[in-house]
Amino acid sequence: WKPAWSVRAVPVDYMVPGYNSGRVNTLRLWTAKSYDEFDLLTFNKSEYLDAVKPQVAAENISKILYPEDSTPEGKALRLEQQYFFVAASIHDAIRVFYPGQDKPDLTTFPSKINFQLNDTHPVIGIPELMRVLMDEYGYDWNTAWGITTKTFNYTCHTLLPEALEVWPAKLIGELLPRHLEIIQGISEQFRNELRGKGVAEDQVERMRIATDADENGEGAVVRMAYLATYGGSYVNGVAELHSELLKDVTLKDFSNVYPDKFKNVTNGVTPRRFVRLSNPRMSALITEGLGTDAWQGDLELLEGLKPLADDPAFVKKFAEVKKQNKLAFVDFAKQKYGFEINPDTMFNTIVKRLHEYKRQSMKILQVISTYAGIKNGTIDVDKMLPRTVFFGAKSAPGYAMAKLTIQLINNVARVVNNDPACKGKLAVFFPENYNIELAMNLIPATDLDEQISQAGKEASGTGNMKFALNGALTVGTLDGANVEIRERVGAENFFLFGMTVDEVEKLYAEGYDHGGSRKYYESDPRLKTAVDMVADGTFSNGDKSVYEPLVNDWLTHDYFMAMADFSSYMDIQAQIEETYRDPMKWARMAVLNVANSGYFSSDRSIEDYLDRIWHTGALPTAE
């Protein structure tokens, strides 16, 4: 392979100190630089833009992660990024583990390093390691393949087919021709291996890593998830339900042939960042209740709080902590965003990437339904539970429906927050640029967390873990890690609604996504009123065309079944409000959520990887 152009990968190290471990990890990031940053001869000919073209082209690679990729240029840049990061990392690993060796024995490579493929984005690393081993170090195909498959493992973070990357073979061939040759070789080897196992030919074709082009030379693709599954030792999902659905649905053909490859490692979150640092008031109370701060390094110790859920004095202290956190967030939001928030309301939060399957649309329709009830008198304003709803989300830059939903939420907030009829009773806020700073302030202040994705679509979620650990109660479906959270905190301390995975599949089989949603719209006056208000321009200054794409999708397609689950969702919200009116009951449930969520620590998650995937023990604690 003789590349048309090359870039320099310059390391940028980010130091990450361990907690009471005596060690510091190095997170090595990469920035792209040109070998020819400035062409003086071109510049002196007054061709000023051409003089810096190499510099711009190189630096674009690491300027923006996940660029918009609906254009051919965007797709090419994404592939360049993926190759750049994995190629730099593989070469760096060889340099680090075989320092100063011209001819290292790379057959020992898997005993020194493991590459965990975090979704499909770095899977081009498999053919890159093969290329390095064969073309740069002279190993034969079989030796290189043996080293490669022992080095890589694959974590799948999705169940959505569109999130399992499929690259046009033509694009890979244009940018990385040698890698396409290697991928095609892997694909043929895989097909022969399957045939040798007696796999039926139709299944062999379904499992192809690289497909053939049509008669026009178009249409050939490379399925990166399939390459990762075949090219690594293990595949894991990130929650028990997700891992089962990976085996039973998404990668069913592969699990039938290679059942021992599939594992589960449920996600976790760091208790130091998302409890100790983000919630110092609650952390101090936990330490007081347990009589030790050792829980920060062993989160399962939170179980010791369970008896304190029956101690009225402790529960009152816990409720006071939540109140103080809410007051602190009111100050933070006033200074940061200019929001005027009533702390004497339920803080109801839905923060996650904006995607139709996560169903932010269902939440805003519930808000609109409540607003409609206030305006038409079906809700007694004097008796209603005051609620403040927070949205936090970002969308992919080319995701039109997600952006339209963001616009709708902001316009609902504009209308509701400026209507005197809602003052002190209902408010909606959408702070921009949801990030760690906002999370660390909002999560400890939240009363009710929304985990309302359609059953069978969320891989895991980690926000649900952060909220439970910080004393918020959850309203959610049986999806992702919600299932495990509910099992641990107790069904009585979790607000469950919505269809199960089996019920969702049954509804799909009945043709729901071809107009089946309309009957739910027609049969629930609360839903019909809310949808009609979006359609009639209530939130778009009377312009009925603005949200026409959203309304049409809800009533004719609604693939993620927000309409079908809406009635169940509204019913559970009524139960939530009734529970919230009993402050001691609510606080006691919140204590039990904290006490039973210790399993969802990133420490436990990494221990699972050490045990189930990497097969190596933890390093002893440094003195």
Please tell me which residue in 358, 425, 488, 526 is annotated as part of the active site.
358
208 is an active site residue: no
**Bridge partner list, 116:** 153
Please tell me which residue in 242, 352, 355, 526 is annotated as part of the active site.
352
Nearest CA among 19, 588, 584, 591 for reference residue 304: 591
Rg (C-alpha) for the chain, rounded Å, is 27
CB 181 within 8 A of CB 128: no
Nearest CA among 415, 408, 377, 376 for reference residue 391: 408
Token reading at 266: 């449920």
352 is an active site residue: yes
466 is an active site residue: yes
Nearest CA among 335, 327, 326, 339 for reference residue 431: 339
Please tell me which residue in 466, 486, 526, 588 is annotated as part of the active site.
466
In the sheet where 262-264 sits, what is the strand order?
Answer: 115-118, 152-155, 235-237, 262-264
Residue 263, φ and ψ in degrees, nearest 5:
-130, 170
Please tell me which residue in 462, 474, 477, 538 is annotated as part of the active site.
462
Residue appearing with tokens 């936990």 = 286
179 is an active site residue: no
Nearest CA among 179, 165, 207 for reference residue 86: 179
Rounded Cα gap, residues 522 and 524, in angstroms: 6
195 is an active site residue: no
Token reading at 54: 């190499």
CB 139 within 8 A of CB 133: yes
519 is an active site residue: no
Half-sphere exposure of 513 (CA within 13 A, CB side): 9
Please tell me which residue in 150, 178, 323, 353 is annotated as part of the active site.
353
Please tell me which residue in 75, 91, 157, 178 is annotated as part of the active site.
157
Nearest CA among 593, 529, 520, 531 for reference residue 563: 520
Contacts of 506 (CB under 8 A, 6+ apart): none
Residue 451, φ and ψ in degrees, nearest 5:
-125, 75
**What positions carry a catalytic annotation?**
157, 352-353, 358, 462, 466
